[in-house]
Structure 1
Amino acid sequence: MAILFAVVARSSTILAKHAWCGGNFLEVTEQILAKIPSENNKLTYSHGSYLFHYICHDRIIYLCITDDDFERSRAFSFLGEVKKRFQTTYGSRAQTALPYAMNSEFSSTLMAQMKHHSSPPSDRLTETQMQVDDLKGIMVRNIDLVAQRGEKLELLIDKTENLVGSSVSF
């Protein structure tokens, strides 16, 4: 259950892409891009054991290929995040860009988002819980150290007061 391939394109002109694994994803994607209408919409195609999800907005197509058991909501969440980041980064430049013009910069964003959205929510929750537990442990140790320092300071203050009292009586 993963996002295997992602692409951002203007019509059939690919602007950025990233593949999680090997395969003929690019060739299949080029065929699908040619068939996607230019009006704003989102849709999922099924072919064999793969699902092809896309969002088309302002003639820019955000497409991903997933296993057939991947949840549509997660795929469209991924595409929505990619769309937001792409529009924020490139804006109207995407309307006139050359093929693969954004690939060197944006493929790393695609990769990071693919990784994030491919991992099941329970794994992310478990990982976050482990991080919280680690932080709790660190905080408890720090609080113990502060308490120990406070005790040492109190002892030092008591000894100082005893010395002051002894020096006065001497």
Structure 2
Amino acid sequence: MKLFALFVILKSPDGGEAKILKKATDLNSFGFFQRSSVDEFMKFTAKIITERTSVGARSSVKEQEYMAHVYVRADNLTGVLVSDQEYNKRVAHTLLNKVLEEFSKAVPSQTWRNLQEGEANFSDLPNLLSKYQNPKEADALTKLQLDLDETKIILHGTIESVLQRGEKLDDLVAKSEDLGIQSKTFYKTAKKTNACCSYM
């Protein structure tokens, strides 16, 4: 999973050319002589996608082995993130939300139209691009899901190991003083019911 570029763009309300207010790139995975061409292509793509996306819309567009995720807010402020295809789309759009919120706080909206391309004073963009390179660490929900998956795997292993000792478990149930007669009867009935439905 890799993030290549992150843009904050102002979409023209009258359908004119979009203006890049700030960008951050990580093109180290490309050859030194390829980087300027890749950078130009990503800027071109980010502008085109911004111009073709309607206000209030989100989308993810595939181009060869890359994905361009875009979000155009109601105020025409737009975030574009270029990643590989493996990068989680939900995390990409979470990052776009965060970038646009923080940009709005740092750069007053009344100045956006008068800024020259790339001139916005927003130094957090490279840090956010770097932080979100690993979505598991940057995004709490993704990390939580991975933790739950690991817990589920451990739990399944525990249940399987208990089921492999079935007869010993039966003996423990029969000898247990903690279980009442009704609980022991329920266990036996449930076991018989499950046994009749099992094909193994």
**The TM-score by the shorter chain falls in which range?**
0.5 to 0.7
Structure 1: tracts of 5 or more residues without a match: 126-170
Q: Indicate which of 59, 64, 75 corresponds to 1:48.
A: 64
Q: What is the CA–CA distance in structure 2 between the aligned matches of 1:13 and 1:122, rounded to whole Å? A: 31
* Structure having the higher Rg: 1
* Higher share of residues assigned strand: 1
Q: What is the number of residues matched between the two proteins?
A: 122
| 1:111 corresponds to | 126
| 2:99 corresponds to | 82
Pairwise CA RMSD of aligned residues?
2.2
Q: 4+ residue runs of structure 1 moved beyond 4 angstroms?
A: 122-125
Q: Indicate which of 52, 65, 80 corresponds to 1:63.
A: 80
Structure number with higher relative contact order (C-alpha < 8 Å, ≥ 6 residues apart):
1
Q: What is the CA–CA distance in structure 2 between the aligned matches of 1:123 and 1:34, rounded to whole Å? A: 29
Report the alpha carbon displacement of residue 78 of structure 1 after superposing the two structures with TM: 1.0
Q: What is the CA–CA distance in structure 2 between the aligned matches of 1:48 and 1:41, rounded to whole Å? A: 23
| 1:30 corresponds to | 47
Amino acid of the structure 2 residue aligned with 1:96: R
| 2:114 corresponds to | 97
Could you report, residue by residue, the CA deviation over 1:95-116 in whole angstroms, capped at 9, with x for unpaired residues? 423232544x32x311100111
Moved more, 17-26 or 27-36: 27-36
Question: Does structure 2 conserve the Cα–Cα contact (< 8 Å) formed by 1:52 and 1:65?
Answer: yes
Report the alpha carbon displacement of residue 122 of structure 1 after superposing the two structures with TM: 5.4
Report the alpha carbon displacement of residue 49 of structure 1 after superposing the two structures with TM: 0.6
| 1:9 corresponds to | 9
Q: What is the CA–CA distance in structure 2 between the aligned matches of 1:61 and 1:46, rounded to whole Å? A: 18
| TM-score normalized by the length of structure 2 | 0.55
The percentage of aligned residue pairs carrying the same residue is 16
Could you report, residue by residue, the CA deviation over 1:134-160 in whole angstroms, capped at 9, with x for unpaired residues? xxxxxxxxxxxxxxxxxxxxxxxxxxx
Structure 2: tracts of 5 or more residues without a match: 12-17, 28-34, 141-200
